[in-house]
Amino acid sequence: MITLELLCARFTRLRVEDLRGWIAEGHVRPERAGDELVFTELDVERIRLILELREDMAVNEEALPVVLSLLDQLYALRRRLRAMGVEPDA
């Protein structure tokens, strides 16, 4: 688990106000440790993905929830296929 301060140090292009918006929208779901937000490695990778979508692939804020939802569905389907013993294509 890492703190907001360490997260911002890891991703220099991450703005705290953007992250707070993503948390409010449910795109990132950190835990609380007292008054502090803490992020799992899954949260960190989700933030990395959102930054790449926004900045590298120019996905705008309106499309971001749709793209994240589709990716979540894709990953869920891949997990289900693996559970059935089918290895999805890379």
20 falls within a domain: yes
89 falls within a domain: no
pLDDT at 90: 57
CA 31, 58, 51 angle in degrees (round to 5)? 25
pLDDT at 87: 86
pLDDT at 88: 78
Residue located via tokens 């950190």: 30
CATH of residue 55: 1.10.1660.10
73 falls within a domain: yes
**How do the pLDDT tens digits run along the chain, 90 residues long?**
999 999 999 999 999 999 999 999 999 999 999 999 999 999 999 999 999 999 999 999 999 999 999 999 999 999 999 999 998 775
- Number of residues assigned to the chain: 90
90 falls within a domain: no
Domain total for the chain? 1
pTM of the predicted protein model = 0.87
59 falls within a domain: yes
Residue-number span of the structural domain to which 40 is assigned: 2-83
60 falls within a domain: yes
